[in-house]
Chains A and B, each alone.
Chain A
Amino acid sequence: MNGSATSVLAAPSVVDSRLSRQRVHQRLGVEGLLIRLLITLFAVWLGAFLVLPLLQVLLRSLQSKTGEFVGLANYVAYFATPAISRALGNSLYVSIVSMVVTVGLALVYAYALVRTTMPGRGILRTLAMLPIFAPSLMQALAFIYIFGNNGIFTRLTGINIRLYGSTGIIMSEVFYAFPHVLIVLITAFSLADARLYEAAQALGASSRRIFFTVTLPSIRYGLISAAFVAFTLAITDFGAPKVVGGDYDVLATDIYNKVIGQQDFGMGATISVLLLIPAVLAFIIDRIVQRRQVAQVTASSTPLGPKRHGRVTQAVFFAYCLLIVGFILSVYGVVLVGAFAKNWPYDFSFTLKHFDFYSMGGYKVLWNSLQMATITALIGTILVFCSAYLVEKTKVWAQGRSVVYLLSIMPLAIPGTVLGLAYIFSFNDPRSPINFLYGTMGILVLSTIVHYYTVPYLTATTALKQIDPEFEAIGASLDAPFYRTFWRVTVPMALPAIISIAMYFFLNAMVTISAAVFLFVPGKELAALAVMLLDDSGESAQAMAMSSLIISIGLGARVVFYLLTRGIERRSQAWTRR
């Protein structure tokens, strides 16, 4: 939208073109300033609540307990104590194994959903998403009831899989990451170019050969992305290792132990930095790969639809999916039974007593969570969408916009526990100008928005890219300021994306614990935190009852958002249909 193009468009509509040109230039000048100001504001807020707190962590890792600068002494101490530094290797081990297993399982599942014509694909896809609605420690609790020393599976079969330790952590991480990885792989399979398959078949390639020479290469970027998602979720997760870790140390829980258990902030910061390294490395690799992917699908590609496979193949895929969904459902079933059974595993008679949550002050924690999640969804969505709009749709100040872009995708690489610790450092200091936020709901909202910033930001960017830039040009030519175009054209057109962003914030705010565990104060406990606290005091039945309520709220919200989307799509998305 440079000046000359706009004035050419604007000129014929006004009688005195000279006067109008002057006015448009003035308007653009003011608008340009306004946009610069807004971009600066976004850069400052991300700088203040993301970069500065992280720098504090780095700084604290170089300080002694009493605050003197000690250089790398903490790191030396860390690696000199093998009992502690073992956690680094452990973390990498469970994350890599979980990554391989999750991607392997989800690859077959996604293939079956996208490429075969087996029955029930819609419902199989929906059910596979269930783990998204639960806090990550829930499945670990359920696994204890199933595979623990006195679990149902163990008692029925007499086989003890030795759940506590790496086995339990890996199982929980796979369960937890499966839907996230599945989404990525479904997208990857859907983007394939049918022409390649036709060519391969015409050349007489066997189906195995086609799989290795066409299918796998065509989804390689998706695979790398999926691996990144699985690895990051596993290495940063805090819930599962806490519940079934046993004597198996990992970094994410070590930070918590050092800080909350022993109040050793220096060592906590040191471990945080060590946890940041693999997470950031994985992130950088993923970004580099993503940049290459752009040219893969071209305008002349033909989309590949599902294809009928041989009867036996189809049946095998179907059975495989049923097995996985069956497993997911039985984990949820165990949670429900655990929540309502009087005295697991000795007395299965029905009771509501585990729903009384006396130690948590009753249902207050659920209200806190609902309140926190709603505010997070509201503010988070506005922030994310406006900043994505400024970066994507305005044309002034390219450097400023790329800074905001970079800051917006960074949170994906930051583990929640590290962010939580970083916030203690920046908020709990009485000298800090934002100290007043410490111990309020505000800090929980803030940390949750920042922690989950990237995915909604990328969603908004994608949605905005699909809207023709001509709208801005036309708006300007009609003498409308950018904010009016934004409000009247962009927002309505992007409403489905906006709603899914709000949904994402809401669901994650309901189940997050990793950052919140450092930041809650009495009276501000959240429901997902309560699950952890209840498990800590050995109240597994109440922990399951609370989990089942969190899941119900998530599913309820999902239905509400679904209805909203449908109603809105009918009205505002008419433009997508011809």
Chain B
Amino acid sequence: MNSNRKLVAMMLCLALIAIVVACAPAPTTAPTAAAPKPTEAPKPTAPPAAAKQTLVVYTAKEPDEIKDYLEIAKKELPDLELEVLRLSTGDLTARLLAEKNNPRADVIWGTAATSMIIFENQGMLEPYAPKGVESILPTFKSPKSPPTWVGVDAYETAFCFNTDVAKKQNLPKPTSWADLTKPVYKGQIVMPNPASSGTGYMFVSSVLQGLGKDKGWAFLDELDKNMAQYTKSGSKPCKLAGTGEFAVGISFGFVGLGLKKGGAPLELIWPTEGAGFEVEANALVKGTKKVDAAKKFLDWAIGDSAMKAYAKYFAIMAKGGFPPPEGYPTDIAAKLFKMDHQWSSDNRDAVLKEWTTRYSAKAEK
């Protein structure tokens, strides 16, 4: 009997140790309600600075970029603990709108200007002019003063074309929107779902602006016949083309260049009708209790070191003087479609509704 009790006690101890071990080596995690107080864990020998302030950042930027930027942020904003939620543009927009009355984010970072205009109309943004905002080109920020949102860069539509699959299946290289509707590409094209992805909406919006509503929807109907899948994320179509799962991915330029560098047999194509583009912007969430910390972050996010880091990924910058990333054509500006972002924003709800009724069956789950 006695040994049994010891055994039970031992088991409980083991379990407790397991918890402590599980909690202790996670210094970046804030203590959670369910976990025991981390007092058992040895205190790190870091300077006894004032407690770090936690800032909740919502972003639609790509995961691999975020990693680079956060390394810099960690060095330059030592007293901020950044909790970053990364979602695709559409999901992030839906989430922010749903949390409107009870916002959980302190700042929005690198999210489509199209969505920012919606947030602005809903009164969800607190106007703020971050340090150095005057150097941002006027088309990249909200026309208000102080601005409600401030852009940093823009991404543009590009087709990722797998040359290996093309050779095997005898596919010609598509160079324009119109090419994509040719029957030879049936089941070979993937594009992002515009309801969840900013890249997807940017493409649909450029088509509707370029061809007009009637012709635009007729084109999208034709395109749908060739479409294998509508993915949730904007970079996934290019990655799927990269592994040869599908021949053509409608995506954005930088992701394709990165994959190409990594050895994927891809060719990048900017459509002849013009490549749609979307501005990525930052904003302060109205109602945040951490205004000072949030402003500090927003200042940093358009500062020189951050901009320099963005410029490694983006050919189109909100400030002059950055060379385009390796592999980009030098005349990228000439390949862009003249986007009307106000139109994109005003018509977003209606376009997405129409799109969902027409094509949602093929949307990725």
**Residues of chain A at the chain B interface (Cβ within 8 Å):** 83, 86, 144, 148-150, 164, 241-242, 245-247, 249-250, 253-254, 256-257, 260-263, 342-347, 358-361, 364, 367-368, 370-371, 374-375, 377-378, 430, 436-437, 439-442, 445, 487-488, 491-492, 495, 521-524, 536-540, 564, 568, 571-572
Contacts and interface: CB of A to CB of B under 8 A. Distances in A.
A359 to B, nearest CB: 3
B63 A358 contact: yes
B262 interface: yes
Nearest to B26: A367
Interface of B: 1, 3-5, 7-8, 11, 15, 18-19, 22-23, 25-26, 28-30, 32-35, 56, 62-64, 66-67, 83-86, 88, 90-91, 94-95, 97-98, 102, 104, 164-165, 195-196, 228-229, 231-233, 235-240, 243-246, 262-265, 357, 360-365
A367 B22 contact: yes
Contacts of A439: 104
A386 to B, nearest CB: 14
Contacts of A523: 29-30, 83
Given A262-B195, A488-B4, A345 B15 contact: no
Contact of A568 (B7, B85, B235): B7
Interface secondary structure of A, over-half rule: helix
B62 A342 contact: no
A361 B362 CA distance: 32
A429 to B, nearest CB: 9
B91 A260 contact: yes
Given A150-B165, A495-B7, A522-B83, 9 more contacts: A150-B244, A242-B365, A247-B361, A250-B365, A344-B243, A359-B64, A487-B8, A491-B8, A539-B239
12 contacts: A150-B243, A241-B365, A247-B363, A260-B91, A346-B243, A346-B263, A371-B19, A371-B22, A374-B19, A436-B33, A441-B32, A492-B8
B263 A347 contact: yes
Contacts of A257: 363, 365
Given A150-B245, A571-B3, A442 B64 contact: no
Given A249-B361, A522-B84, A148 B245 contact: yes
B237 to A, nearest CB: 8
A569 B239 CA distance: 52
B233 A537 contact: yes
Nearest to A145: B243
B240 A538 contact: yes
A311 B56 CA distance: 67
A367 B363 CA distance: 33
Contacts of A540: 239, 243
A538 B235 contact: yes
Contact of B196 (A261, A347, A377, A521): A261
Given A249-B361, A359-B67, A378-B15, A346 B265 contact: yes
A538 B56 contact: no
Contacts of A246: 228-229, 362, 364
A247 B361 CA distance: 5
Given A347-B263, A521-B85, A359 B35 contact: no
B244 A149 contact: yes
B361 A367 contact: no
Nearest to A150: B244
A261 B364 CA distance: 11
B365 A253 contact: yes
B229 A164 contact: yes
A384 to B, nearest CB: 15
B7 A488 contact: no
B34 A440 contact: yes
A149 B32 contact: no
Contact of B239 (A254, A430, A488, A538): A538
A334 to B, nearest CB: 13
Given A246-B229, A375-B19, A442-B33, A536 B360 contact: no
Nearest to B356: A262
A197 to B, nearest CB: 42
B92 to A, nearest CB: 11
Nearest to B56: A522
B263 A375 contact: no
A374 B63 contact: no
Nearest to A429: B102
